[in-house]
Protein backbone atom coordinates (compact mmCIF):
# COMPACT_ATOMS: atom_id res chain seq x y z
CA UNK A 1 0.00 0.00 0.00
CA UNK A 2 2.75 2.44 0.93
CA UNK A 3 4.65 1.72 -2.29
CA UNK A 4 1.55 2.30 -4.45
CA UNK A 5 0.85 5.56 -2.65
CA UNK A 6 4.39 6.87 -3.20
CA UNK A 7 4.23 5.84 -6.87
CA UNK A 8 0.93 7.67 -7.34
CA UNK A 9 2.31 10.84 -5.65
CA UNK A 10 5.43 10.85 -7.78
CA UNK A 11 3.38 10.36 -10.93
CA UNK A 12 1.09 13.24 -9.97
CA UNK A 13 4.01 15.63 -9.34
CA UNK A 14 5.54 14.60 -12.69
CA UNK A 15 2.31 15.39 -14.52
CA UNK A 16 2.03 18.80 -12.83
CA UNK A 17 5.57 19.71 -13.85
CA UNK A 18 4.90 18.69 -17.46
CA UNK A 19 1.63 20.62 -17.38
CA UNK A 20 3.28 23.82 -16.09
CA UNK A 21 6.24 23.62 -18.47
CA UNK A 22 3.97 22.97 -21.43
CA UNK A 23 1.57 25.78 -20.62
CA UNK A 24 4.45 28.18 -20.07
CA UNK A 25 6.05 27.18 -23.34
CA UNK A 26 2.87 27.85 -25.29
CA UNK A 27 2.17 31.07 -23.19
CA UNK A 28 -1.13 29.65 -21.97
CA UNK A 29 -0.38 30.94 -18.41
CA UNK A 30 0.20 34.59 -19.36
CA UNK A 31 -3.24 35.58 -18.04
CA UNK A 32 -2.10 34.35 -14.59
CA UNK A 33 1.61 35.34 -14.66
CA UNK A 34 1.11 39.00 -15.63
CA UNK A 35 -1.27 39.86 -12.74
CA UNK A 36 0.99 38.04 -10.28
CA UNK A 37 4.07 39.91 -11.51
CA UNK A 38 2.21 43.24 -11.24
CA UNK A 39 1.18 42.48 -7.66
CA UNK A 40 4.75 41.57 -6.68
CA UNK A 41 6.16 44.72 -8.32
CA UNK A 42 3.60 46.90 -6.56
CA UNK A 43 4.39 45.34 -3.17
CA UNK A 44 8.12 45.97 -3.65
CA UNK A 45 7.79 49.66 -4.57
CA UNK A 46 8.24 50.97 -0.99
CA UNK A 47 11.31 48.79 -0.55
CA UNK A 48 12.78 49.96 -3.85
CA UNK A 49 12.06 53.60 -2.96
CA UNK A 50 13.85 53.26 0.35
CA UNK A 51 16.81 51.63 -1.33
CA UNK A 52 16.91 54.40 -3.91
CA UNK A 53 16.78 57.04 -1.13
CA UNK A 54 19.67 55.56 0.78
CA UNK A 55 21.59 55.03 -2.42
CA UNK A 56 21.08 58.71 -3.26
CA UNK A 57 22.11 59.97 0.17
CA UNK A 58 25.28 57.91 -0.01
CA UNK A 59 26.39 60.00 -2.96
CA UNK A 60 28.94 62.76 -2.18
CA UNK A 61 27.57 66.32 -1.84
CA UNK A 62 28.22 68.74 -4.65
CA UNK A 63 29.60 72.24 -4.10
CA UNK A 64 26.11 73.70 -4.55
CA UNK A 65 24.70 71.27 -1.98
CA UNK A 66 27.37 72.31 0.54
CA UNK A 67 26.65 75.99 -0.10
CA UNK A 68 22.94 75.47 0.49
CA UNK A 69 23.58 73.54 3.71
CA UNK A 70 26.02 76.18 4.98
CA UNK A 71 23.51 78.92 4.17
CA UNK A 72 20.75 77.11 6.06
CA UNK A 73 23.03 76.59 9.07
CA UNK A 74 24.01 80.28 9.05
CA UNK A 75 20.35 81.36 8.88
CA UNK A 76 19.53 79.08 11.80
CA UNK A 77 22.42 80.54 13.79
CA UNK A 78 21.32 84.11 12.94
CA UNK A 79 17.76 83.36 14.02
CA UNK A 80 18.96 82.09 17.40
CA UNK A 81 21.11 85.21 17.82
CA UNK A 82 18.22 87.52 16.92
CA UNK A 83 15.95 85.77 19.41
CA UNK A 84 18.57 86.16 22.13
CA UNK A 85 19.01 89.88 21.36
CA UNK A 86 15.26 90.49 21.37
CA UNK A 87 14.93 88.64 24.67
CA UNK A 88 17.68 90.71 26.30
CA UNK A 89 16.22 93.98 24.97
CA UNK A 90 12.76 93.00 26.21
CA UNK A 91 14.12 92.36 29.72
CA UNK A 92 15.99 95.69 29.69
CA UNK A 93 12.91 97.58 28.51
CA UNK A 94 10.80 96.06 31.27
CA UNK A 95 13.35 97.15 33.88
CA UNK A 96 13.34 100.72 32.61
CA UNK A 97 9.54 100.87 32.52
CA UNK A 98 9.41 99.45 36.03
CA UNK A 99 11.75 102.19 37.26
CA UNK A 100 9.69 104.99 35.77
CA UNK A 101 6.48 103.45 37.05
CA UNK A 102 7.87 103.92 40.58
CA UNK A 103 9.34 107.41 40.02
CA UNK A 104 7.75 110.64 38.89
CA UNK A 105 10.11 111.37 35.97
CA UNK A 106 9.31 112.42 32.43
CA UNK A 107 11.37 110.29 30.08
CA UNK A 108 11.98 109.34 26.46
CA UNK A 109 13.15 105.91 25.33
CA UNK A 110 15.99 105.82 22.83
CA UNK A 111 18.11 103.38 20.85
CA UNK A 112 21.90 103.61 20.74
CA UNK A 113 23.05 104.30 17.20
CA UNK A 114 26.82 104.33 17.65
CA UNK A 115 29.63 104.57 20.15
CA UNK A 116 32.82 106.64 20.13
CA UNK A 117 35.82 105.54 22.14
CA UNK A 118 39.14 107.37 22.09
CA UNK A 119 41.65 108.63 24.68
CA UNK A 120 39.80 111.93 25.02
CA UNK A 121 36.12 110.99 24.89
CA UNK A 122 33.70 108.14 25.55
CA UNK A 123 30.26 108.90 24.11
CA UNK A 124 27.28 107.22 22.52
CA UNK A 125 24.85 108.55 19.93
CA UNK A 126 21.12 107.98 20.46
CA UNK A 127 18.20 108.29 18.03
CA UNK A 128 16.31 111.03 19.91
CA UNK A 129 16.98 114.75 19.69
CA UNK A 130 15.57 118.25 19.87
CA UNK A 131 12.32 117.30 18.11
CA UNK A 132 11.69 114.74 20.85
CA UNK A 133 12.30 117.16 23.71
CA UNK A 134 15.88 116.14 24.54
CA UNK A 135 18.08 118.90 25.98
CA UNK A 136 21.71 119.29 26.96
CA UNK A 137 22.52 117.97 30.48
CA UNK A 138 19.55 115.58 30.52
CA UNK A 139 20.59 112.47 32.48
CA UNK A 140 20.53 109.14 30.67
CA UNK A 141 19.73 105.88 32.49
CA UNK A 142 19.37 102.16 31.86
CA UNK A 143 17.80 99.28 33.76
CA UNK A 144 16.13 100.36 37.04
CA UNK A 145 17.57 103.86 37.29
CA UNK A 146 21.29 103.29 36.63
CA UNK A 147 22.96 106.53 35.56
CA UNK A 148 25.29 106.07 32.59
CA UNK A 149 25.86 109.70 31.57
CA UNK A 150 24.25 112.89 30.38
CA UNK A 151 23.42 114.57 27.08
CA UNK A 152 26.16 116.91 25.81
CA UNK A 153 25.03 117.62 22.25
CA UNK A 154 21.58 117.77 20.67
CA UNK A 155 20.58 117.69 17.00
CA UNK A 156 17.14 117.48 15.44
CA UNK A 157 16.83 113.69 15.49
CA UNK A 158 19.78 112.49 17.56
CA UNK A 159 21.90 113.36 20.56
CA UNK A 160 25.36 112.64 21.95
CA UNK A 161 25.63 111.24 25.48
CA UNK A 162 28.85 111.54 27.51
CA UNK A 163 29.31 108.42 29.62
CA UNK A 164 30.38 108.56 33.26
CA UNK A 165 33.76 107.00 32.44
CA UNK A 166 34.59 109.82 30.01
CA UNK A 167 37.61 111.89 31.06
CA UNK A 168 35.56 115.11 31.16
CA UNK A 169 32.58 113.64 33.04
CA UNK A 170 31.94 114.99 36.56
CA UNK A 171 28.79 114.20 38.55
CA UNK A 172 27.96 115.00 42.15
CA UNK A 173 27.50 111.81 44.14
CA UNK A 174 26.66 110.43 47.57
CA UNK A 175 27.96 107.28 49.22
CA UNK A 176 25.22 105.32 50.96
CA UNK A 177 27.23 104.88 54.16
CA UNK A 178 26.45 106.10 57.68
CA UNK A 179 27.91 109.54 56.93
CA UNK A 180 26.22 109.88 53.54
CA UNK A 181 29.56 111.05 52.23
CA UNK A 182 29.46 113.35 49.22
CA UNK A 183 32.02 113.70 46.48
CA UNK A 184 32.51 113.99 42.73
CA UNK A 185 32.36 110.99 40.40
CA UNK A 186 34.77 111.46 37.50
CA UNK A 187 35.82 109.34 34.54
CA UNK A 188 39.31 108.26 33.64
CA UNK A 189 39.85 108.25 29.88
CA UNK A 190 37.16 105.61 29.41
CA UNK A 191 39.11 103.14 31.55
CA UNK A 192 37.46 103.55 34.94
CA UNK A 193 35.41 105.67 37.32
CA UNK A 194 36.61 107.31 40.52
CA UNK A 195 34.94 109.26 43.30
CA UNK A 196 37.06 112.18 44.44
CA UNK A 197 36.85 114.78 47.22
CA UNK A 198 35.42 112.44 49.85
CA UNK A 199 35.97 113.95 53.33
CA UNK A 200 38.96 112.32 55.02
CA UNK A 201 37.25 111.78 58.37
CA UNK A 202 34.32 109.77 56.98
CA UNK A 203 34.27 105.99 56.73
CA UNK A 204 33.93 104.59 53.22
CA UNK A 205 34.24 100.85 52.65
CA UNK A 206 34.23 98.57 49.59
CA UNK A 207 30.71 97.51 48.69
CA UNK A 208 29.08 100.85 49.58
CA UNK A 209 26.58 101.97 46.92
CA UNK A 210 27.12 105.32 45.20
CA UNK A 211 24.16 107.37 43.92
CA UNK A 212 23.72 110.78 42.34
CA UNK A 213 23.58 113.49 45.00
CA UNK A 214 21.24 115.87 43.21
CA UNK A 215 23.88 118.63 43.39
CA UNK A 216 24.65 118.51 39.64
CA UNK A 217 22.47 120.49 37.25
CA UNK A 218 19.45 118.58 35.89
CA UNK A 219 20.51 115.27 37.50
CA UNK A 220 18.08 114.21 40.24
CA UNK A 221 19.14 112.56 43.45
CA UNK A 222 19.00 108.79 43.83
CA UNK A 223 20.18 107.48 40.46
CA UNK A 224 22.49 104.52 40.98
CA UNK A 225 26.06 104.99 39.74
CA UNK A 226 27.92 101.98 41.12
CA UNK A 227 29.64 100.52 44.18
CA UNK A 228 32.91 101.30 45.96
CA UNK A 229 35.61 98.83 44.91
CA UNK A 230 38.81 100.23 46.41
CA UNK A 231 39.37 103.10 48.87
CA UNK A 232 42.50 105.25 48.56
CA UNK A 233 42.99 107.06 51.87
CA UNK A 234 46.25 108.95 52.50
CA UNK A 235 46.78 110.19 56.11
CA UNK A 236 48.05 113.65 55.19
CA UNK A 237 45.55 114.39 52.41
CA UNK A 238 42.39 116.43 53.06
CA UNK A 239 40.27 114.11 50.93
CA UNK A 240 40.14 110.42 50.20
CA UNK A 241 39.36 108.77 46.88
CA UNK A 242 37.65 105.58 45.80
CA UNK A 243 37.54 103.44 42.68
CA UNK A 244 33.96 102.74 41.60
CA UNK A 245 32.60 99.75 39.73
CA UNK A 246 29.77 101.03 37.50
CA UNK A 247 26.40 99.38 38.14
CA UNK A 248 26.18 98.35 34.47
CA UNK A 249 28.53 97.41 31.67
CA UNK A 250 29.20 100.73 29.92
CA UNK A 251 30.60 98.92 26.91
CA UNK A 252 27.34 97.14 26.13
CA UNK A 253 24.41 99.56 25.96
CA UNK A 254 21.59 99.26 23.40
CA UNK A 255 18.48 100.80 24.94
CA UNK A 256 18.42 103.88 27.16
CA UNK A 257 15.98 106.36 28.66
CA UNK A 258 16.53 110.11 28.77
CA UNK A 259 15.07 111.92 31.78
CA UNK A 260 13.68 115.21 30.51
CA UNK A 261 12.25 118.31 32.12
CA UNK A 262 8.55 118.13 32.87
CA UNK A 263 6.43 120.18 30.55
Q: Give CATH superfamily name and number for 103-260.
A: Rod shape-determining protein MreC, domain 2 (2.40.10.350)
pLDDT band at 260 (very low <50, low <70, confident <90, very high): very high
Cα distances (Å, whole numbers) of residue 247 to 31, 165, 186, 226: 90, 12, 15, 4
pLDDT per residue as tens digits for the range 72-83: 767 776 777 777
pLDDT value at 51 more than 90: no
Domain boundaries, the chain: 2-57, 103-260
pLDDT per residue as tens digits for the range 17-32: 555 555 555 555 555 5
pLDDT score at 156: 95
Cα distances (Å, whole numbers) of residue 17 to 11, 14, 27, 33, 36: 10, 5, 15, 16, 19
pLDDT value at 230 more than 90: yes
The mean pLDDT of 148-166, rounded to a whole number, is 95
C-alpha 129/C-alpha 109 separation (Å) is 11
The mean pLDDT of 156-171, rounded to a whole number, is 94
The mean pLDDT of 124-152, rounded to a whole number, is 95
The mean pLDDT of 95-109, rounded to a whole number, is 88
C-alpha 256/C-alpha 13 separation (Å) is 97
The least confident of 6-15, 27-36, 167-176, 244-253 is 27-36
pLDDT score at 172: 96
Amino acid sequence: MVTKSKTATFFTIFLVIIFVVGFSYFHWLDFIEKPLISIVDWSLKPVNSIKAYFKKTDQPLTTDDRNVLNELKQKQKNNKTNIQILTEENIELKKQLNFFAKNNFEHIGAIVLSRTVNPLATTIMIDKGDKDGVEIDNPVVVSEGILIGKVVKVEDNRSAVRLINDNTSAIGATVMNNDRSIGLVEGGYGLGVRMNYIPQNEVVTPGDVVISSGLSDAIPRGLVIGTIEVVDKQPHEPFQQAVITPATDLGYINLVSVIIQKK
